[in-house]
Structure 1
Amino acid sequence: LFDEPRIHFAIVCASRSCANLRDEAYQANILEKQLHEQAVRFINDPSNGVRWDRDNHRLHISKIFKWFKKDFEKKDISTGSSTRSIKSSQPVLRFIRQYIRNKEAIDWIDRGRDIRVSYLPYDWHLNDKAEKPRMDN
């Protein structure tokens, strides 16, 4: 089977809390780049992906990471940064670490500090364009 956790950011259900749709089709010759970009975009989206709460040392993460936890625990994706140095015992945090850009969150994950995790509310409403105003005739 397709053992790729980033698929959860590529093939989406079109709800508001899902990853944003790309404006291009997925292509075999650039698929790795596209999956990487989707993971970076989603994980760094504080509304739907991951939000760092520095005051409480808490990561608020998408419920996608809860529902598909086993997918994110299967393997670390190599992105050029060493995941072996990450001391976090939570595989989902190790996965997130590979894509998150918040330097303080990275530091807390890398040092294995006590990070609390909570889940963001999930909005199942359709991720469509706002309804156009009706014109009166």
Structure 2
Amino acid sequence: MSWSPGRRRNVQKLLTFTPEEWEQVDANWTACATDPRYERFADFARAALTRTQIRVIEVPPSPMAIRGEVRRIGININELTHLANRTGTVSDAVLEEAIDALERVDALIERLADEHERALADVWQED
């Protein structure tokens, strides 16, 4: 059979579920089993995918993405600190300022991690 521009073609997609996801999907499908429209999983899935309202929820990015870079910065500051202590060419005030900056970066990462975890918890509680 040849395809023509006016002819509609079906699209088929393969979905993969984790065991936990499948357990939830199967429970939802089973709950609909009394409705003859959803005897086949394909009919249930089609209805669920085309009639369900999707909400996009913004979650702050995970600070884990920047943790490695900040760690490298911290290592560099430590190396500079050791060098300064050996050579005596950097004042204590400069060293303290570098340490304070690193502590502020660490606090920022912790705050970002907390915000990220709270946002994820809020998203899961809404469902």
- TM-score by structure 1 length? 0.20
Higher helix share: 2
- TM-score by structure 2 length? 0.22
